[in-house]
Amino acid sequence: MAKGGFRGGMGGGFNMNMIKQAQKMQNDMLKAQAELEAQEYTASSGGGMVTATVTGKKQLIRLDIKPEAVDPDDVEMLCDMVMAAVNEAVKQADTAMTEGMSKITGGLNLGF
């Protein structure tokens, strides 16, 4: 046997504690992701004329349009209000997911 013998391990401070910490972080991330995806995010536009609600999975689940927002001579304005409300709700969902994952990863950039 070579001088010093086999010391085991993978060198560089690799140990079971690091594996356990990584597994815990992964489990925490999966749990938080499921919770965030189940939440609903609501935004409105046009002074409350259009309200959109999306899930954390960014699926539109509710769209409310007040009757007075419907003007047959200005459909473009209604489309703009719908897009603005949906986009803002999706932005809220994105922000919640990013912030939720950041709390778990301690700010590490893991691509979430």
Tell me the pLDDT tens digit for each residue of 14-43.
688 888 888 888 888 888 888 888 899 999
Task: Answer yes or no: is pLDDT of 12 > 60.
Answer: no
Whether residue 11 lies inside any domain: the answer is no
Whether residue 4 lies inside any domain: the answer is: no
Secondary structure of residue 105 in the 3-state scheme: helix
Note if the pTM is more than 0.85: no
Q: Give the number of domains in the chain.
A: 1
Per-residue pLDDT of 37-86, as tens digits, reads: 889 999 999 999 999 999 999 999 999 999 999 999 999 999 999 999 99
Q: How many residues does the chain have?
A: 112
Whether residue 13 lies inside any domain: the answer is no
Distance in angstroms (rounded) separating the CA atoms of residues 21 and 26: 9
Range of 98's domain? 18-105
Name which of 46, 67, 64 is nearest 54 in CA terms.
64
Q: What is the CATH number of the domain that holds 88?
A: 3.30.1310.10
Q: Which of 20-24, 32-36, 89-93, 97-101 has the highest mean pLDDT?
A: 89-93
Residue 93 three-state SS: helix
